[in-house]
Amino acid sequence: MNVALIDVDLPRNGKVKFPTLTLMKISAYCKARGDSVHLLTVDEYLSGDLFNRYDKAYASCIFSKNAQKAKLLADMGVIVGGSGYDINKRLPDEIEHIMPDYSLYGITDTAYGFLTRGCPRGCPFCIVAGKEGQQSRKVADLSEWWSGQKNIKLLDPNLLACSSHMELMHQLIESGANIDITQGLDIRLLNDDNLQLINNMKIKMLHFAWDNPNDKSTQQALQKFREKSIIDARKVGVYVLTNYWSTLEDDLKRIYWLRDNGYSPYVMIYDKDHAPVEIRLLQRWVNNKIIFKSVDKFEDYDRRIG
Ligand code: SF4
């Protein structure tokens, strides 16, 4: 069979920023049964009479801003999933637990995946609890989706909340790979034992989140981490949620505190399409590290730059 795998989030130029794990798993499954697989943008799929060439088409949409395109494909009979379109759609177990086909995106040296799913926090702005359940549970061993690549991108929403997290962290250490913890570790769940394991990992990038400006426990935990961790501060990013329950003043307090304490803040905007201009500028100032390092105060940031 000729199978189209449509990455709805791929820009027109096809340049990949976030490869889609679901499509890499479907690709592996299809190739194992002898199908010919083609990765396409939405435009490529729709152009000319191309779409008549495929016996089957699957699409994934991670970002809700692209949901309209996903709906268009679904209306044409494409099987569509992804948290930007339908948080209830699941892969069958035999595909969910297959070794992903990283070659679909031309990836040779990085493995992507989840060791755990779910999160007990249930933050009101986050889809994880509704999508994956309000408990963090082990779903895979590292060997399920890692086969010796030198880099690992871990996508877990809340690894430390899982009762098996120590065992899973040992697997990450034993891999010897460079680890990028992309979604953030819940810093409120750090203790001396799991901190020791983090110190033993080859961390490429580690993220925490400080979402609520009134949450003193996160601030204290960040302080403690700085004192006890041996991880290079340049490898530690902290997501700062804005445009949800904080004022610009609240946001600036967190950003300045993080910078003054050796962290690299990274502004996330809730409902970015409807966010005030000031918050978008704040994001541009903070997340462009060249600008952030050269302009000390947000008030001094020239909005024509960047
Ligand atoms: S702790 Fe993180 S993953 Fe869990 S619900 Fe809150 S934002 Fe989502």
Residue 304 pLDDT more than 80? no
User: What's the pLDDT score for residue 305?
Assistant: 67
User: Six-digit token pair at 263?
Assistant: 């962290």
Q: Which superfamily does 1-96 belong to?
A: Cobalamin-binding domain (3.40.50.280)
- Average pLDDT for residues 19-43, to the nearest whole number? 96
Sequence letter at residue 258: L
pLDDT band at 51 (very low <50, low <70, confident <90, very high): low
Residue with tokens 């913890």: 181
Across 148-159, b (16+ Cβ under 10 Å) vs e yields ebebbbbbbbbb
| Percent of all residues in the chain with a pLDDT value above 70, rounded to a whole number | 98
* Cβ-Cβ contacts under 8 Å for 215 (sequence gap 6 or more): none
Q: How far apart are the first and last CA of the chain?
A: 47
Task: Among 83, 123, 210, 242, say which to mutate for ligand 1: greatest number of ligand atoms within 8 Å of CB.
Answer: 123
Ligand 1 atom index nearest CA of 125: 7
User: Six-digit token pair at 139?
Assistant: 């779903």
Residue 263 pLDDT more than 90? yes
Q: What is the pLDDT of residues 248-260, one digit of tens each?
A: 999 999 999 999 9
Sequence letter at residue 87: I
207 and 154 Cβ atoms separated by less than 8 Å: no
Task: Among 125, 128, 134, 156, say which to mutate for ligand 1: greatest number of ligand atoms within 8 Å of CB.
Answer: 128
Residue 2 pLDDT more than 90? yes
The Cα–Cα gap between 197 and 120 comes to: 22
User: What's the pLDDT score for residue 50?
Assistant: 64
Ligand 1 atom index nearest CA of 126: 8
Domain boundaries, the chain: 1-96
Q: Is 165 helix (H, G, I), strand (E, B) or coil?
A: helix
User: What's the pLDDT score for residue 101?
Assistant: 98
Q: How far is the CA of 211 from the centre of ligand 1 (A)?
A: 9
The Cα–Cα gap between 236 and 146 comes to: 23
Residue with tokens 């799991």: 194
Element (H, E) at 253: helix 248-260
Element (H, E) at 154: strand 151-154
User: Six-digit token pair at 6?
Assistant: 């449509």
Residue 71 pLDDT more than 90? yes
Reported residue count of the chain is 306
Q: Is 86 helix (H, G, I), strand (E, B) or coil?
A: strand
Q: What is the pLDDT of residues 116-170, one digit of tens each?
A: 999 999 999 999 999 999 999 999 999 999 999 999 999 999 999 999 999 999 9
Residue 48 pLDDT more than 80? no
Q: How far is the CA of 94 from the centre of ligand 1 (A)?
A: 27
Helix axes 165-175, 192-200, angle to 10 degrees: 20
| Pocket of ligand 1, beta carbon within 6 A | 119, 121-123, 126, 128-129, 157-158, 186
Q: What is the pLDDT of residues 204-239, one digit of tens each?
A: 999 999 999 999 999 999 999 999 999 988 899 999
